[in-house]
Amino acid sequence: MDEDAVASILGESSSNRASARARPPCPRRGENREFDRHFDESTAEYDPTEVDFQELRRAAWATWRTKPPAALSRPSQTAVAEDDELARVLALSAQEHASSQSASSSSRSRFHDADRAAGGGLNPLGGRDDGDDDEELRRAIAMSEEEARAPKRQKRDETPEEERRMLAEAMAASLAESEAGPSMIPASPSKPKQEVNSISHHNIQSTSGSDTYTAPISIPSSPLPSITASPAPSTDSAAPTILKIGGQVIDRAQLEKERRERQAARQAAISGISSSSTTSSTSSAPLKTASSSLASSTLSSSESHPFQASGPFPTDAAGEYYLDGELRHVALRIGEHSRERTFSPQQVVGNHSQIALVIVSSFVIEDQWLLDANILPPPEVVPTMTVRPHRKDQPEYNGKIELKANGEMWVYPKMLTGFGSAHMKYFWIFYKTGRLRVAISTANLVSYDYQEIENTVFVQDLLPLVAPIPLVASNTTHDFALQFARLFTHLRIHTGLRNLIRHHPAGSAIPFTPENNFADLAKYDWSKVRVRIVMSIPGQYTGHEEIGKLGISRLGKVLNEQGWVPRSGEKLDVEFQGSSLGTYSLEWFDKFYSFVSGKTSQQLVHRTKPTSWPDFHILFPTLATVERSIGGKPGGGTMFCGKAFNSVTKGLFYDANSKRGGVLMHTKMLIAIFEPAENRLGIEKVGTPTKLKRKADEMDIGSKDVGGWIYVGSHNFSPSAWGNVDVKKNPPTLNIRNYELGIVFPLDRKNARSVADRVAPYKRPARKYSASDIPWDQNAFPDVG
């Protein structure tokens, strides 16, 4: 392949090539990230089986433009003076990043940044309204300009001890709660009761609770209406359709068609489907809505998974996408081979060159891993908002937003107490193809959570509509979007977005604005969303309507509204798998059981005082299970039992064992199966309607064929996560300490138990603790380093 052929692909001129003769050898991938981006974007459409990419890369290096990176675009003339100044500061930072890869690696800190540890960095862009933001921005600019010109400070690595400390603080919140009855949230933070030592992994998960989100549940049996979506403008669209490579004339359209056919054949070989039956679906144009086999086959057999279609899946330039939602466990480096499809973090994020905006939230982030493994795109190139806890020793950042010198926006959730935790884990990714991806995960953005411990990710892709459809609360399928709109407003994502649009080099291309309460959400087709969101936000809430929007009372209300409740005469088989437990009173436990039975707060007002503990399975690994695991005791550093296990509750405990063998579990999953009263031994039967007369509030609502449901998300089994409801007060109250987020979806009555067996990452039925078993507890065994 000659350089002229390469130039025709990459759009280079002969003058640029001539000036590049004296260049050093072609850098390996990762040594020059700007060139990597240039090369990837220029060759995104080519198949490695058709083109020699090594030769193409060497030739591209020789022909790469020799002029320095273009200056970052400045705001429009109507912008205020401080916008111009901040753009200049960001340009300095971006140029430093491009010239020194090691400096870039040390400057990108997402959760615990060295600049803030040393007293530097930008001031947070806080305040109650956007007018205050501009005033704080002026002060931030002066500090930012000084920081941009100062020598780079060395990144302070996040140590295992510090991450362990974050967990200890979260556990202290749960352990410090008084469960005798609902209480007000403390106004001042307190220190954890017990300090813990470091462990070998520095990826650690909090145990605290979170906000409850509910996602729509309508389960359509037919595909979406035919829609012609208009992809966002892309540089790829300007590429020539006829290529000249090594003197050979090649039709790009034909190449793409053949590539898709080969891809379909490979996928078909894996899934056992003939290539002839899959070619047509995979060769469809990007963003064309393919009819989903999942809608018609969901829960049709004992082997079906409610959110794992057989594939192949449609693709666009950003990658594979899932219009019906896809729930998979993470791809691990340890344990036995799984027959199920899995998600890697790279699969969740997709093609970096096609991303226009990222909004990501995690309790813990391992910055170096994100860089080394190329998980997220560089924030100086792709506008990025990172929702993360503020440092405990810097309370002035609580509830603020902070624009970093590399263009990244940090959002610190508002905490009302030192006990709470910002524990949500999600992605919102806007692609240049026009598609939106929402991913809700149980995994932190750390290598340990994606490689060495069980976690689960739900991905829902949304295509753009021809014309926006206003979101209405009465439309169940819109609930998913409206729940996030509420969360984004609470977190002040709207303020962060406005600043990104004004100041980021790629801000003008951001396809999502916060105006009119995130009205842009109406641009997407939410009709295929079949889950409900359950969310927790810290605070005290009053009145049945308000408390029904969050936490455990939200879950009860959703189950009641959807009719995902046992029939008369049926009981619940309920089990909760998590990584950390709380402190339980009989009162709280009984109310939790009532809510998961589909009761609302109104229905609990006149409940009688409980005298016995409900039949409930708490799944948590025994000490022996952790000792036998692949990681041993050091691998159990993110798991806390605390005071949950005692002489009263020990009969509720069951061992937790991964299907992949020797792997510990971080997935938080609540499974409820409706079981006829005469069938409590685990033998599945189809429940029969009772002839007993039932009260109106006990009648089945909606889906009569539902035989159970599953919750997956960030909530651990603790009052901090789910909240504490006091229905004896008038009006009733709900107290929540943590941010949490998850989804809930129904199970078909015909095969609820077998489908639950497949969805769960652990072996079911779980083994009950023997008399000699004790739970693993990192606090009780601190010598795990």
Q: What are 459's strand-pairing partners?
A: 326, 439
pLDDT at 159: 36
Containing 706, the helix (H) or strand (E) segment is strand 706-713
Query: Is there a contact between 778 and 636 (Cβ–Cβ < 8 Å)?
Result: yes
Regarding pTM above 0.95, the answer is no
Residue 519 sits at φ, ψ, to 5 deg, of -65, -20
Return the C-alpha torsion angle 613, 617, 621, 624, nearest 10.
80
* Residues in binding site for substrate: 425, 668
Query: Is there a contact between 500 and 137 (Cβ–Cβ < 8 Å)?
Result: no
State the burial class of residue 356 (Cβ atoms within 10 Å of its Cβ: 0-12, 13-18, 19+): buried
AA letter at 219: I
Cβ neighbors of 4 (< 8 A, separation 6 or more) are none
Q: Report CA-CA distances (Å) from 207 to 66, 173, 230.
A: 51, 9, 43
Q: How is domain 541-677+704-780 classified at the architecture level of CATH?
A: 2-Layer Sandwich (3.30)
3-class DSSP state of 280:
helix
Residue with tokens 């296990």: 645
Query: Is there a contact between 426 and 213 (Cβ–Cβ < 8 Å)?
Result: no
Direct distance between the N- and C-terminal alpha carbons of the chain, in angstroms, rounded to an integer? 55
Q: Tokens for 628?
A: 């036998």
State the burial class of residue 754 (Cβ atoms within 10 Å of its Cβ: 0-12, 13-18, 19+): middle
Q: How is domain 315-523 classified at the architecture level of CATH?
A: 2-Layer Sandwich (3.30)
- Look at residues 74, 34, 42, 38 and name the one whose alpha carbon lies nearest to residue 507: 74
Do the domains 541-677+704-780 and 315-523 match in fold? yes
* Residues in binding site: 425, 668
Query: Is there a contact between 386 and 412 (Cβ–Cβ < 8 Å)?
Result: no
pLDDT at 304: 85
Question: What single string gives the DSSP state of each residue in 499-518?
Answer: HHHHHSTTGGG-----HHHH
Cβ neighbors of 614 (< 8 A, separation 6 or more) are 574, 589, 590, 593
pLDDT at 52: 66
pLDDT at 49: 56
Q: Tokens for 473?
A: 């609360």
Query: Is there a contact between 121 and 156 (Cβ–Cβ < 8 Å)?
Result: no
Query: How many Cβ atoms from other residues are within 10 Å of residue 288's Cβ?
Result: 14
Q: For residues 148 and 682, give the distance between their C-alpha atoms in angstroms, rounded to a whole number.
A: 64
Question: What single string gives the DSSP state of each residue in 95-164?
Answer: HHHHH-HHHHHHH--SSS-HHHHTT-SPPP---SSHHHHHHHHHHHHHHHHHHHHSPPPPP-PPPHHHHH
Return the C-alpha torsion angle 341, 342, 348, 350, nearest 10.
-60
Query: Is there a contact between 639 and 665 (Cβ–Cβ < 8 Å)?
Result: no
AA letter at 15: S
**Residues lower than pLDDT 50 in the chain:** 1-21, 66-90, 92-94, 96-131, 147-162, 174, 176-250, 270-302, 681-702, 784-785
- Locate all alpha helices (DSSP H) within 345-492, ordered by sequence: 345-349, 367-372, 447-451, 479-491
The residues that are catalytic are 423, 666
Query: Is there a contact between 298 and 219 (Cβ–Cβ < 8 Å)?
Result: yes
Domain limits of the chain? 315-523, 541-677+704-780
Cβ neighbors of 195 (< 8 A, separation 6 or more) are 165, 168
Query: Is there a contact between 714 and 668 (Cβ–Cβ < 8 Å)?
Result: yes
pLDDT tens, residue by residue, 260-314: 666 565 555 544 433 333 333 333 333 433 333 333 333 344 458 999 988 899 9
